[in-house]
Structures are given as structure tokens and as C-alpha cells.
Amino acid sequence: MRIAIWHNLPSGGGNRALYYQALGLLKRGHQLSIWSPEHADNRFVTALLQVQPVPVHTRPVAYSPQMNRHEQWRAFWFEDSANIRAMKEACRLWADELAREKPDIVLIHSCHHFAVPFLGRYLDLPTVLYLHEPNRFLYENQDGIGWSAPESISGNRLAPSNWRILWNDHCLTNFKRVMIREEIRNFKGYNRVLVNSYFTNESVIRAYGAAAEVCYLGIDTELFQDYALPRESLVIGLGTFMAHKNPELVIQALSRMGTLAPKLLWISNHTEPEFLQKMLRLASQLRVSLEVRTDISDQDLVNVLNRGCCLIYTSRLEPFGFAPLEANACGMPVVSVAEGGIRETIESGVNGLLVESNPDALAETLGRLLSDEPLWQHLSTGAVQHVREKWNWERSIDQLEAVLKETRRAGNTLHASLKTAFSP
């Protein structure tokens, strides 16, 4: 098949999933083309070129980082923001280009800014959306961003300062409601929607009012392997070094272990300088050895996962989580909080241990694992076998390829009717 792949992903787990899918489809003889905004991370294409030429089509999309007074008025009247208008216009142009290219099917991955991309509603081609997660900003109370009201206004309620509070709150609330309205329309504009776990599917139902289909991801077991190297007193954190990955919980847990605490090495694709400094200060205060490294190569990552003794995973409501399975493939057991999609990939007592999300439970479980050599060896052996049997990328590509073929055969009848029903 001739498959056009569109995405707007930064580096991270979603981008790695996209790479595995593209590579798997290429190796099965499909012809691919990549479409994305200019700012999306397309570094994975370099690796794809080792298999066959893959054309890349990028387009600039102008984003405004702030809501100015003009944007507030647009939100007040439930009109599209400047960012939505910019993305819609870009997607119309992409749709025109794709109509001229006439691929057999369009596989669309998530949008970093809007989660559910706008492109599907403008295409008259068979489409499959691989949605890594809903827009968590709109549906979860992450770091105080929620739907709760501000404090009640007391004193002189007619004071100008209080009217400014009401105005800003109303505009921000309307801005979110417009985002939700547009994402629901976008979601209904695809022939098929795939997600990475049953947990993500439940989140999708809560967010968009309709179910998707679970299409599990897989790990490259040719890259991630157990070298049977000596293990160091080193626990690994892996993923974006930001609050929702919860490194603070890891630091607190290690501080409970006293002199028995191993060093924490966090491998990250992105850090926020202010948050990083905050965590480094916390680690220093609690006498925890913390090192954060960014942007290392895949081979260096594999080497690190073969040196450490355990991956510790505390991400909040992680939809799937590549890191635990990549660590497993390298013979590394995982100690993880029992939240989100991790409960589908980590089987406690088989390839890792699941614990409650508190530092005492985490410290106790980690200490037990590191002091019990037979337990560690059992989980290490089980981890490698678990990934090879259940989470290899060949198995995931089988399922994805089947969906793409079925959608192509069904044509775009459903998509055309949805576009008529839900487009503004």
C-alpha cells in the first residue's frame, strides 16, 4: 500500500511508537510518505532512509503562545483561537496535497498541541488515527489546571479588579470549551481510531464520548537486548523530566532507604530548567544522588539499561509507557506505581513489581528487590521472555497492518458521512 503518515509529535514515547510503526510497515514492502508541521520531530526519518527513500512534506504553522485581548474576545464569543485557525488552514492545504498524491490510506498520529488532529475532517481518503492519549490538559487536573472555580469574590464585588477576575476566568473557560468542541468534531472525522491500551480507551470514552480500538505497541527486541553485563547499584528513571513523570516521588522514596539507596540516573528527552533545579535541590537536601542526562543515543540508552539494576517508573496515569518494556527487554526488572496503562504491560511478579503511589511503599519494594538476588533474577529472566513473547514489534505491526488493509477495503464511505455530519 501507499501509506501517508501525518504527525505533530515532539521527541518521546509517541514519536518512538511512530518510528516503530513506520519501520515495520516499510520492512513489509509498503511505500510511505511523512507529513508534518515544520516544528515536529522528524529525526526518525534518518533511520527509515536506511530501508528505502521516504519523502517528507513539512509546512509551517504559526502558534501564538499567549492569549491577548483580541483572543479573549474571540473566546468570549466561542470563536476559534488563532492557533486553531492556523492549524485548520494548514490541514486544508495538506488535504489538498494528499488529494493530489492519492495514497491508499492516511495514518495519522497525535498532535502535540491539540491531541486529536484536524486533518481527518478535511480528507476524502480512508483515514486511521493512532491517538496516544486524549488532551490531558482539558480532562485532568494536572498541576492545578482544572475546572474548579476561583475563590469566591468578597468585598466590593463591583470593583474593577473583581471584574477583571471574572472576565479572565470566563475567557479561559470558554477557550477550553472551544478546544473540547473542536477535538470532538475531529475525533468523529476518522474511519478508525486506534489507541495504545485499554486504559487509554477508557480515557477516550470519557473525553470524546465514543470508543476506540486497542492496538498495542511493540518493542524493537533487536535493539533492546540483555547483554548479561554486571549490574551496578544504579536505578534508572526514563522519560521526560517533568512533574507528571513524578521524579519527586522517586527522590522521596530513595531518601527513605538511607545509606542503602542506589544512585538515580534519569534519562530524559526534555527537561524544564526551573523544575530540574527544583528537583536537584530536593535531592541534595534529602541526600539522594541524582544525575539527569538528556538526548542520548539509542545505543547509549541500551547500554545504560544493561548497567542499572532496576527501572523505577512513577509517571502519573501513563497511557502506555515504552520505558518499562524497553528496560524489560534489556533484562531489567521494573518497579512501578500501579496506575494507567502500566497495569497492562507490567505483570507483578513476572516482569516487575507494582506498588502504591507513595514513597514508603516504593522504598520498601525497591529495597526488597535489590536485596533478594533470586527475586531479581526471576524478574530479570521473566522480563526478557515477557517482552519477546507479548510485546515484540512484529506482533504490533501485524495488528496495525490488518487495520490499515481493512480500512482501505472499506473505502471512505463512513468518513464522508461523518465529515458531512460533524464539520462546521
- For 103-150, the DSSP string reads -SEEEEEEETTTBS-SGGGG--S-EEEE-S---HHHHS-BTTBSSPPP
Task: Supply the pLDDT for residue 301.
Answer: 95
**Tens of pLDDT along 298-339?**
999 999 999 999 999 999 999 998 899 999 999 999 999 999
Q: Cα dist. 40→33, 94, 233 in Å?
A: 15, 15, 37
- Does residue 419 have a pLDDT over 60? no
The residue assigned the cell 468578597 is 154
**Is residue 249 over pLDDT 90?**
yes
89-113 pLDDT, tens digit per residue, is: 999 999 999 999 999 999 999 998 8
- Is residue 423 scored above 50 in pLDDT? no
Give yes or no for residue 416 having a pLDDT over 90. Answer: no
Determine phi and psi for 376, rounding to 5 degrees.
-60, -45
Contacts of 295 (CB under 8 A, 6+ apart): 269
Give the long-range contacts of residues 414-418, CB within 8 A, separation 24 or more.
Answer: 414/191, 415/120, 415/123, 415/124, 415/125, 415/126, 415/127, 415/189, 415/190, 415/191, 416/124, 418/188, 418/189, 418/190
**Cα separation, 92 vs 380, whole angstroms:** 50
Q: Is 203 helix (H, G, I), strand (E, B) or coil?
A: helix
Rg (CA), the chain: 23
* Mean pLDDT over each residue of the chain, to the nearest integer: 91
First to last CA, the chain: 32
Q: How many helices (H) and strands (E) would you count in the chain?
A: 16, 13
In the predicted model, is pLDDT for residue 126 greater than 50?
yes
Which has the higher per-residue pLDDT, 270 or 106?
106
All structural domains of the chain, each given as residue ranges with its CATH number in brackets, are: 2-218+393-418 (3.40.50.2000), 234-390 (3.40.50.2000)
Vertex 351: Cα angle to 201 and 18 (nearest 5): 45
Q: What is the mean pLDDT of residues 170-180?
A: 91
CA 21/CA 47 separation, integer angstroms: 13
| Distances, alpha carbon 205 to alpha carbons 137, 201, 214, 246, in Å | 16, 6, 12, 26
Q: What band does 143 get if pLDDT is binned at 50, 70 and 90?
A: low
**More confident position, 383 or 424:** 383
